[in-house]
Copies of this chain bind each other. A is one copy, B any other.
Amino acid sequence: MTPRSTRVVCLVRRPDGQPVPGDFAVEERPLPPVGEGQLLVRNLYMSVDPSMRGRLESTEKHYTHNFIPGSPLDGRALGVVEESRCAQVPPGTYVRHQLGWRERAVLDLADTDGAGRIDTRLAPLPTWLGLLGQTGFTAYVGLTRIAHLRPGDTVLVSAAAGAVGTAAGQFARLLGAQRVIGTAGGPDKCALLVKELGYDAAADYRAEPMRDALARLAPDGVDVYFDNVGGEQLAAALHALRTGGRVALCGMTSQFGGDRRSADINQLIQAVLKRLTLRGFIVRDHDDLRPEFEQRVAGWLAEGRITARETVVDGLENAPGALLSLLGGGNVGKMLVRLAD
């Protein structure tokens, strides 16, 4: 018997400053019937992403739609097909899609990916949203196609204990970086970066000015900066970069997040003096790289050369709290909500 409704997380109102729990509510909403060529998917894991923060606002033009008060949130999720009206996708298939923040969703096949490729012998389900999902792919695209990482480079990654950061640091090493430096907030995360996540050195942005930290940890400079935060850390990186250095601009969590120290845009004078290239990117523009990415990362996982780090919260009703925790830096690695196993 097909369920007629599903629980969803709705945006109640746009945040007034920092988001609070009351900005969100779990509600019961009807599910449409499963039409020809469609799938009913029961979500098992949902991705909680820093980019959701900007989508809570009304003002910022975004590369995707902003959330609308009164309507459900959405986001990357991984689910299992419960009912199928696509001959090629039998019930029981795992698929990834964009209709997270709800327990069930009805989807067109074209709006899913991974159908038939998600193999739990290769990696457990959460990894297919993390290192093998959009998160890992973001790190891979940023390092290879955007920042043109070359063997021997010194690489700096901000928000290095976050989802993209934990992937980027490990990938950078495997792609030939000579030295990999990460930034994070607090001594525990910094220790973890060096002990478990393959970073050579870590800088705690709460403990010292980033320019001082980088002068100490990268005295010969940095070739590639993978930027997840913007703000003062981006400015400090501009100073640390070597001539010809490359910056992959992936996000600016310091607009909203824990490290809100800003900087003057004219710090970009460093880009003139040192012939730097800064390039912003949106991972979905680079889907042609995905087969290469999946093959390499699956190989690294199989060989035990990379570690998938996840912070998992259980239950749809705890999803808003997971987002608030993420925005406050409460996660290590990929932040996920588990709805079922």
Contact = CB atoms under 8 A, between A and B. Distances in A.
Interface string A47-89: 0000000100000111100000000000000000000000000
Contact of A249 (B252, B264, B272, B280): B272
B264 A275 contact: no
A226 to B, nearest CB: 12
A251 B231 contact: no
Contact of A273 (B262, B278, B280): B280
A230 interface: yes
A276 interface: yes
Interface in A14-70: 54, 60-63
A201 to B, nearest CB: 23
Contacts of A265: 230-231, 234-235, 262-265, 267-268
Contacts of A263: 264-265
Contact of A262 (B249, B266, B270): B266
B254 A271 contact: no
A293 interface: no
A259 to B, nearest CB: 11
A275 B280 contact: yes
B61 A268 contact: no
Contacts of A274: 63, 280
A234 B272 CA distance: 14
A93 interface: no
A265 B251 CA distance: 12
A285 B277 contact: no
A63 to B, nearest CB: 5
A115 to B, nearest CB: 28
Given A262-B264, A264-B262, A277-B277, A269 B252 contact: yes
A217 B265 CA distance: 24
Contacts of A273: 60-63, 280, 282
Contact of A282 (B264, B268, B272): B272
Contacts of A132: none
Contact of A251 (B255, B262, B272): B272
Nearest to A267: B265
Contacts of A276: 279-280
A323 interface: no
A278 B271 contact: yes
A250 interface: yes
A202 B27 CA distance: 53
Contact of A268 (B234, B270, B277, B281): B234
Contact of A280 (B63, B264, B268): B268
Contact of A230 (B61, B63, B266): B266
Interface of A: 54, 60-63, 230-231, 234-235, 249-252, 254-255, 262-282, 285
Given A250-B272, A251-B269, A277-B278, 11 more contacts: A60-B273, A63-B274, A231-B266, A234-B268, A264-B265, A268-B280, A272-B281, A274-B280, A275-B279, A277-B277, A278-B278
